[in-house]
Amino acid sequence: QVQLQESGPGLVKPSQTLSLTCTVSGASLQGGGYYWSWIRQPPGMGLEWIGYIYFTGKTYYNPSLESRLTMSVDMSKNEFSLKLRSATAADTAVYYCVKDRSSVEIGHFDIWGRGTLVTVSS
Amino acid sequence: IVMTQSPATLSVSPGERATLACRASQSVSSDLAWYQQKPGQAPRLLIYGASTRATGVPARFSGSGSGTEFTLTISSLQSEDFAVYYCQQYNDWPPYTFGQGTKVEIK
């Protein structure tokens, strides 16, 4: 079955770039025509959708983060990545990589990684 | 689109029915999903299309509504159902937006 695994530094200094990678196993990023997302959750708070990437590299970002955000895909490694520039304490959160349930009816997420906590602090 | 869930906390005894509400600031048609999240775990998709159970979700979970008003009902609460529940709209994006969550706790 499809599994997702987030990886990256757990601690980022303010003003630096927060970088995470999601490794996909059990499926090809290219196969199925699915969209792949990042979603985050500050400690004790709710969920925020960050953005989408398609295997072609097409991206859709949350407008609130768009100016600082870059998502990319590496088909050779079956991975997709997130870079969030100029990090602040408000970016401290558990970051999840997720998969859409359907390639046709997009926008809801059936496979989630376990999540990785990223703390922005000096 | 702003999603508002009520109540923030719901205290229910095992075996009782739980009814959770979700309201959208504008119509989202039936493009509404519900998730369950237990402490230290990732959310789990329960319902999509406002009323379709995801694979493996027990029949005691049901969703209803369309437009701006939605409900998640758990017909007879089991011990494993005590968790936080989130609704999410996927009709108008970006961005997809979530409610702030309803915590279902043991009474």
pLDDT of residue B89: 98
Predicted confidence band of residue A104 (pLDDT cuts 50, 70, 90): confident
User: pLDDT, tens digit, for every residue of B53-98?
Assistant: 999 999 999 999 999 999 999 999 999 999 999 999 999 999 999 9
Nearest to A62 by CA among A88, A43, A40: A40
Residues in contact with A42: Cβ distance below 8 Å, sequence separation at least 6, in sequence order: A48, A90, A92, A93
With a cut of 90, say whether residue B11 has pLDDT above it.
Answer: yes
* Chain B residues touching A110 at Cβ < 8 A: 45, 54-55
**DSSP codes of every residue in B33-100:** EEEEE-TTS--EEEEETTTEEPTT--TTEEEEEETTEEEEEESS--GGG-SEEEEEE-SS-SSPEE--
Residue in B closest to A109 by C-alpha: B45
With CB atoms and an 8 Å threshold, state whether B42 touches A115: yes
Is the pLDDT assigned to residue A105 strictly greater than 90? no
pLDDT digit string, tens, across residues B13-62: 999 999 999 999 999 999 999 999 999 999 999 999 999 999 999 999 99
CB contact A114 to B (< 8 Å): yes
Most B CBs within 10 A among A108, A111, A112, A116, hence the mutation to make, goes to A108
Partner-chain contact A62 B45, CB within 8 Å = no
pLDDT, position B36: 98
Give the per-residue pLDDT at B38: 98
Mean pLDDT for the stretch of residues A66-76: 96
Q: Give the tens place of pLDDT for each residue, A79-93.
A: 999 999 999 999 999
- What is the number of other CB atoms lying within 10 angstroms of the CB of residue B35? 26
- pLDDT for the residue numbered A30: 84
- What is the per-residue pLDDT for A84? 98
- Picking from A60, A96, A108, the nearest residue to B90 by CB comes out as A108
